[in-house]
Chains A and B, each alone.
Chain A
Amino acid sequence: AQKVTQAQTEISVVEKEDVTLDCVYETRDTTYYLFWYKQPPSGELVFLIRRNSFDEQNEISGRYSWNFQKSTSSFNFTITASQVVDSAVYFCARRDAGNMLTFGGGTRLMVKP
C-alpha cells in the first residue's frame, strides 16, 4: 500500500513558537491530491487545505503555511506563532485517482501557555 507517513507522533511547544509538522507520502500516480485536516479535542475533523500534484506553489493562510515539494514527496505544515487553540491532532492525507483517501497516523500538537 502506498503510505502517508507522519513521523512525529507528538510535538510539544510553548505558545508563540513556530512549529512544523512533517508529512511524507508515497504514490505511483502523476495526478494526486494532498490534504491537511485538524482534529481538535472536541473530536471533529476540520478541513484545512487541499493541494494538487501539479501545483507546487507554497501557500500561506494567516499563521498557517504549507510547503509542497514533489522532489522529496513531502507536504509539510508550519504554524507560525503558535497558540493554545492550535492544540489538536493534525492529519495529512493523500487522494489519488481512486476514491480512497489515505491518511497518515496523525501528529498530536500540544501548545502550552
Chain B
Amino acid sequence: DAGITQSPRHKVTETGTPVTLRCHQTENHRYMYWYRQDPGHGLRLIHYSYGVKDTDKGEVSDGYSVSRSKTEDFLLTLESATSSQTSVYFCAISEQGALETQYFGPGTRLLVL
C-alpha cells in the first residue's frame, strides 16, 4: 500500500468556519491531488500540486485553496465552509504526472452543518 495518510479522518464543522485537511505521504512522490467524492459524481479534482509551492486548479476549485510547503504534505483549506462542501475528500499521489497511476489515501469525511 502507498504510504498516504489523511487527517482528520472525520470532521464536523459549522458553516462559515475555515477548515484545513492534511495529506501526508511517505513515498516522496512529486504529484499530489485533492478530490471530492459525491454521490453520482464519482470523484472530482479540486486542486493538485506538481512540486513544492507549485499548484494548479482542478475541476471544482471554487471555495478551496491549497498549499504545499514540503514534498510530503499537501493541505486543503476550505476558506469559509458551506453545506455544499459536505463530502468525502480524498488525497492521491503519483510519482510523475499524466502517465502515472494515482494512489489514494483513506479519505476524510467532512460534514458542514
Question: Which residue of B48, B99, B104 contacts A45 across the interface (Cβ within 8 Å)?
Answer: B104
Q: Which residues of B contact A9 (CB under 8 A)?
A: 40
Q: Which residues of B contact A66 (CB under 8 A)?
A: none
- Please tell me the size bucket of the interface on A: 20 to 34
Q: How far is the CA of A105 from the CA of B44 in the complex (A)?
A: 10
Q: Which residues of A contact B102 (CB under 8 A)?
A: 47, 101
Q: Which residues of B contact A50 (CB under 8 A)?
A: 101
Contact A95 B98 (CB under 8 A): yes
Q: How far is the CA of A37 from the CA of B101 in the complex (A)?
A: 11
| A22 contacts partner chain B, Cβ-Cβ < 8 Å | no
The main secondary structure of chain B at its interface with chain A is: strand
Per-residue A-contact encoding for B18-59, CB less than 8 Å = 1, 0 else: 000000000000010100000011111100101000001011
Complex: chain A residue closest to B88, CB-CB: A43
Q: Which residues of B contact A98 (CB under 8 A)?
A: 98
Q: How far is the CA of A95 from the CA of B43 in the complex (A)?
A: 13
Least CB distance from B36 to A in Å reads 11
Question: Which residue of A43, A45, A93, A96 contacts B98 across the interface (Cβ within 8 Å)?
Answer: A96
Question: Which residue of A35, A37, A97, A103 contacts B44 across the interface (Cβ within 8 Å)?
Answer: A103
| B64 contacts partner chain A, Cβ-Cβ < 8 Å | no
Least CB distance from A68 to B in Å reads 16
**Most chain A C-beta atoms within 10 Å of own C-beta, residue among B56, B97, B98:** B98
CB proximity to B under 8 Å, residues A65-113: 91, 93, 95-101, 103-106
Q: How far is the CA of A95 from the CA of B50 in the complex (A)?
A: 16
Q: How far is the CA of A9 from the CA of B48 in the complex (A)?
A: 28
10 additional A-B residue pairs with CB within 8 Å, beyond A99-B50, A99-B56: A1-B59, A35-B101, A37-B104, A43-B106, A44-B104, A47-B101, A93-B43, A99-B98, A100-B58, A101-B45
Give the 4 A-B residue pairs with the shortest CB-CB distance, closest first.
A103-B42, A45-B104, A103-B43, A105-B42
